[in-house]
Homo-oligomer: A and B are copies of this chain.
Amino acid sequence: MPYVNIRITREGATADQKAELIKGVTELLETVLNKNPATTVVTIDELETDNWGIGGESISVRRKRGH
Contact = CB atoms under 8 A, between A and B. Distances in A.
Interface of A: 1-9, 13, 15, 17-29, 31-33, 35, 37-47, 50-61
B23 A57 contact: yes
Chain B CB within 10 Å, residue with most, of A6, A9, A38: A6
A15 B58 contact: yes
A40 B18 CA distance: 17
A2 B44 CA distance: 10
Count chain B CB atoms within 10 A of each CB in A21, A27, A37, A57 and give the residue with the most.
A21
A6 B13 contact: no
B8 A5 contact: no
B22 A25 contact: no
